[in-house]
Amino acid sequence: DAKTTQPTSMDCAEGRAANLPCNHSTISGNEYVYWYRQIHSQGPQYIIHGLKNNETNEMASLIITEDRKSSTLILPHATLRDTAVYYCIVKGNTPLVFGKGTRLSVIA
């Protein structure tokens, strides 16, 4: 059963911020929000994860709403190399289960 809902696809202009939304209204208290991406014909790449506080690393920022029912992944300055399928996954102590993700196309 899908635990997250993401738009099927999004476009973003190169150099602009890409904001990828994710709904996870049934998230449990001990489940984390993870984001991975998959560039064509490669293995998934870890981006970021969080529990309830906003998180930032060298790749992206993760904004989680106070009720934890949704989150947004922010790529601050998208480049053509960020074109990929982005997966939002909620998990506890279980393996990652992938949904369909959002296909982000960064356009020059």
Partner 1 sequence: GAVVSQHPSWVICKSGTSVKIECRSLDFQATTMFWYRQFPKQSLMLMATSNEGSKATYEQGVEKDKFLINHASLTLSTLTVTSAHPEDSSFYICSARDRPKKGTGSYEQYFGPGTRLTVT
Site for partner 1 contains 44 (CB under 8 A): yes
Segment interacting with partner 1, rule: CB under 8 A, options 6-14, 15-23, 42-50, 64-72: 42-50
Pick the binder of partner 1 from 51, 54, 65, 80 (CB under 8 A): 51
Give CA–CA dist 12/23, Å, rounded: 20
Count of helix runs (H) and strand runs (E) in the chain: 0, 9
Identify which of 86, 67, 64 has the alpha carbon closest to the alpha carbon of residue 75: 86
Contact residues for partner 1 (CB under 8 A)? 30, 32, 36, 38, 41-46, 49, 51, 87, 92-93, 95-101
